[in-house]
Amino acid sequence: MPNAAPPRHWLMKSEPSVFSFDDLWKAPKRTTHWAGVRNYQARNFMREMRRGDLVLFYHSGVEPAGIAGTAEVVRTAYPDASALDARDHGYDPKSTAENPIWEMVDVRAKERFSHFVTRDDLKAEPGLQAMRVMQRGQRLSVMPVEPAEWELVCRLGAGDATR
Partner DNA sequence: GCCAACGTTGGC
**Judged by CB under 7 A, which of 44, 114, 129, 138 binds DNA?**
138
Residue 70: strand pairing partners: 56, 111
- One-letter amino acid identity for 121? D
Q: By CB under 7 A, is residue 8 in contact with DNA?
A: no
Binding span for DNA by CB under 7 A among 1-9, 21-29, 57-65, 155-163: 57-65
Q: In this structure, are residues 82 and 36 in contact, taking their beta carbons and an 8 Å threshold?
A: yes
**Nearest one of 73, 88, 89, 66 to 15, comparing CA atoms:** 66
By C-beta, is 61 or 159 nearer to DNA? 61
Q: By CB under 7 A, is residue 28 in contact with DNA?
A: no
**Omega cis (within 30) before 144:** no
By C-beta, is 65 or 74 nearer to DNA? 65
Binding span for DNA by CB under 7 A among 16-24, 58-66, 110-118, 150-158: 58-66
